[in-house]
A = this chain, B = another copy of it.
Amino acid sequence: MSKRYLEDFDIGDPFETGEYAISREESLAFSRAYDPQAFHLDPDDAARSIFGELTCSGWLTAAITMRLIVDSNVMAAIGIIGSGIDELRWTAPVKPGDRLRVRGEVIEKLVSTRRAGRGTLRVRLLTLNQHDVAVMSQIANLIVPVAPAQPPEAT
């Protein structure tokens, strides 16, 4: 896999990742560790919640989204170092057994005036379930190296 630079991405460049199936065990283990609320852990409590059934933690959806992007070659070629996330929205519940994938598009490229050699790629990410329903959207700001300057041609 060859290294990619800010210059190698164009606005509108789309990409799509593979798929990730969430088991009931993984969902419960994640919730137990990081989001131990009764409606994520107990089917009876979940039935009385606004979701009406067991759902996954939104942070598991976020973590799986990251995993899918790391596994997709396009993005991995830059080393994915996020400086931040804007406008993250959980738009539909995710349930154990769901299969997620991510669709992304480059929406902006910024060159840093403060740090030579670095830029920011702004990528709109949509996480979809197996029914093509968007369960999470976000804009990720990724730190990306700028291509080294070419030496001037000999005259």
Q: At the interface, yes or no: A34 with Cβ under 8 Å from chain B?
A: yes
CB neighbours (8 Å) of A34 from chain B are 63-64, 66-67
Query: When each residue 62-88 of chain A gets 1 if its CB lies under 8 Å from chain B and 0 otherwise, what string results?
Result: 111011001000001001111111111
Interface residues of A: mostly helix, strand, loop or mixed? mixed
Query: When each residue 88-114 of chain A gets 1 if its CB lies under 8 Å from chain B and 0 otherwise, what string results?
Result: 111000000000000000000000000
Q: Which residue of B lies closest to A45 (CB)?
A: B79
Contact B89 A39 (CB under 8 A): no
Q: At the interface, yes or no: A17 with Cβ under 8 Å from chain B?
A: no
Contact B83 A84 (CB under 8 A): no
* Minimal beta-carbon separation of A34 from chain B (angstroms): 4
* Minimal beta-carbon separation of A80 from chain B (angstroms): 6
Q: Bound state CA distance, A47 and B76, in angstroms?
A: 19
Chain A interface residues (CB < 8 Å from chain B): 30, 33-37, 39, 49-50, 57-59, 62-64, 66-67, 70, 76, 79-90, 143
> Which 4 A-B residue pairings sit nearest by Cβ, starting from the closest?
A34-B63, A84-B89, A85-B88, A34-B67
